[in-house]
């Protein structure tokens, strides 16, 4: 379970807006033997507190922030790759990048950049239909990630997770997971009355 010092309500948001990638979270999860969802929260906590130097050596710099403006004319003046940032802030996620990578025979990073390019230039119609219609949860995700993704795509929010954590004595991460499980299995009526509401 994640140490309370590594939890922050804005942790996942900080991770999502950063240059850290799913691969970084997967690496941290593997190194520290924690679920990928927790690894994303931990990365976000380190970003918020500006203590990335406490992460394992290979993760102190996000893998999505390798662009050098001197070498890459597509990078912004601050060195951030424009295409990658367009992908990060789009509605597409790792599942979409994974699907595109398999369809177009490219790496996940290349797929993220390709999605970002299409988004930035209004060319999303050139992405495969499967990708544009890919709103379901990927079968390749772990059960924890599937549940978290179901929570993220639901109408429930942080306040609901916080309330559930107090009612059922769970951590916030566990509460989000539990909400996600009930959403994914269409058993939301099992949630406390204060939290459950029809979508």
**pLDDT tens-place string over residues 101-159:** 877 777 778 888 888 888 888 888 888 877 766 544 455 566 777 787 788 788 888 88
Binned at pLDDT 50, 70 and 90, residue 79 comes out as very low
Q: Is the pLDDT of residue 179 over 60?
A: yes
Radius of gyration for the chain, computed over Cα atoms and rounded to the nearest angstrom: 18
Q: What pLDDT is recorded for position 6? A: 53
Where is average pLDDT lowest: 29-38, 63-72, 157-166, 182-191? 63-72
Categorise residue 7: left if φ over 0, alpha if ψ from -120 to 50, beta otherwise. Answer: beta
- Here the tokens at position 24 are 């970084």
User: Residues 25, 43: contact at Cβ < 8 Å?
Assistant: yes
Whole-number Å distance between alpha carbons of 155 and 189: 14
Helix (H) or strand (E) holding 2: none
Higher pLDDT, 36 or 77: 36
Q: Is the pLDDT of residue 70 over 80?
A: no
Give this prediction's pTM. 0.36
**H-helix segments, 67-157:** 82-88, 94-104, 108-120, 129-132, 143-152
Q: State whether residue 28 is helix, strand or coil.
A: helix
Binned at pLDDT 50, 70 and 90, residue 11 comes out as confident
Highest mean pLDDT among 84-98, 130-144, 167-181 belongs to 167-181
């Amino acid at each position: 379970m994640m140490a309370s010092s590594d939890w922050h309500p804005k942790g996942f948001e900080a991770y999502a807006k950063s240059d850290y990638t799913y691969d970084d979270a997967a690496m941290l999860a593997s190194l520290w033997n924690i679920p990928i969802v927790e690894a994303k929260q931990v990365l976000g906590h380190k970003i918020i507190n500006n203590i990335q130097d406490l992460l394992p050596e290979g993760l102190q710099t996000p893998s999505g922030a390798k662009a050098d403006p001197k070498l890459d004319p597509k990078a912004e003046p601050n060195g951030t790759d424009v295409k990658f940032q367009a992908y990060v802030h789009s509605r597409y996620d790792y599942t979409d990048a994974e699907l595109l990578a398999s369809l177009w025979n490219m790496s996940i990073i290349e797929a993220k950049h390709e999605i970002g390019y299409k988004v930035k230039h209004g060319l999303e119609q050139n992405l495969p239909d499967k990708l544009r219609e890919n709103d379901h949860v990927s079968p390749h995700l772990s059960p924890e990630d599937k549940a978290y993704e179901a929570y993220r795509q639901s109408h429930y929010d942080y306040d609901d997770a916080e309330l559930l954590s107090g009612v059922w004595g769970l951590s916030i991460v566990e509460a989000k997971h539990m909400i996600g499980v009930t959403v994914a299995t269409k058993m939301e009526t099992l949630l406390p009355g204060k939290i459950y509401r029809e979508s």
